[in-house]
Amino acid sequence: MSRSALVGNVTAMLEDAGFSVSDRCAIRPKSFDVAARRGKDVLLLKILANVDAFDGATGAEMRRLGTYLGATPMVIGLRTRDEDLNPGVVYFRHGVPAIAPDTAMDLFIEEVPPLIYAAPGGLYVNIDADILADAREERDWSLGRLASELGVSRRTVSKYEDGMNASVEVAARLEEVFEKPLTSPVEVLEGAEDVHEGEPTPEDPDADPDDEPVIFALTRVGFDVHPTSRAPFKAVSEDGDRTEDAVLTGHSEFNRTAEKRARIMSSVGEVTRTRSLYVVDRATRDNVDGTALVERDEIARISDADDLRDLIMDRSDGAAESA
């Protein structure tokens, strides 16, 4: 299956599941392919045939964007270099959960979350520590008795009851012994932090020198500006006092590529519920599909965050884009 067909199939599946899906980010470099929303769940998706092509820089970018946009970064792919991704299993690439299309379909269509995750050494599951401890006490078994049944140490059983996860084989044996389910799902939409030791949000990359005047102007009026390196926009700008009002921010001369980026920003912004701003040297219209066009000189003259927000809203909601 071609990557383009895979993206199309995943997009159709998400729409069937009730997600609104952005246009594909068909511009390079790109850290994610589409954004999607269903209710409060927001996804930033990278869709790959081979998930090993997902590199560290892209992972860091997606994790940063997930933080700034309130979204879960996720990879959907078919295989690694060595094998197909197993259905029902969550893998991780550079801190980002990766799942097969079948797993995504179970999660989003059937609302059946995965139970298994891959980590160094094999496949693991979450053991519900309280249910396990209650089941052992109901049997009136000691830690040592259960350890003997499982073929592990007493200390290991104690760790299971303290919240340590178990291999698939041990979990299956536990459920066989107690004749009840003891596992809990991997919360993929919460970043799977219960099974993956998350690291702090990676630091922002250095801004392109050409963008520094725009970043300075936005920072001067009170915005926190987070440069990007692989997104279809140059930065995510947050009002320091109103972090929910994120603005996808682009900057370049206004040409066909800029117009294409502005359209993608508008589509992504609609899904993530953010405004989008494209700073240009000279603007001949107010917006591109709702992405406000503002000239650099205008940005430089603004001295108040409220004035900038009002300008973006006026431009994005104002005169319709000319054909």
Bridge-based pairing of strands 242-251 and 183-184 is: unpaired
Three-state secondary-structure class, residue 78? strand
Between helices 143-150 and 154-161, what is the axis angle to 10°? 110
We report the CATH number of the domain holding residue 86 as 3.40.1350
How many CB atoms neighbour CB 276 within 10 A?
Answer: 30
Cα atoms in the Cβ-side hemisphere of radius 13 Å centred on 3: 13
Question: Does 255 fall in a domain?
Answer: yes
Q: Which two tokens stand for residue 145?
A: 């008795």
* Domain co-membership, 27 together with 79: yes
Selection from 182, 257, 288 nearest residue 28 by Cα: 257
Residue whose C-alpha is closest to residue 168's, from 101, 121, 215, 132: 121
* 110 and 7 both lie in a single domain: yes
Among the three residues 60, 87, 114, which one is the final residue of a domain in this structure?
114
Query: How many domains is the chain built from?
Result: 3
Answering whether pTM is above 0.85, one says yes
Tens place of pLDDT per residue across the chain (323 aa): 788 899 999 999 999 999 999 999 988 878 999 999 999 999 999 999 999 999 999 999 999 999 999 999 999 999 998 899 999 999 999 989 999 999 999 999 999 999 999 988 899 999 999 999 999 999 999 999 999 999 999 999 999 999 888 999 999 999 999 999 999 898 888 755 655 656 778 899 999 999 999 999 999 999 999 999 999 999 999 986 554 679 999 999 999 999 999 999 999 999 999 999 999 999 989 999 999 999 999 999 998 888 999 999 999 875 444 43
Domain around 43: 3-114
| CATH number of the domain to which 157 belongs | 1.10.260.40
C-beta of residue 315 within 8 angstroms of C-beta of residue 262: no
Please, which residues bridge with residue 280 across strands?
295
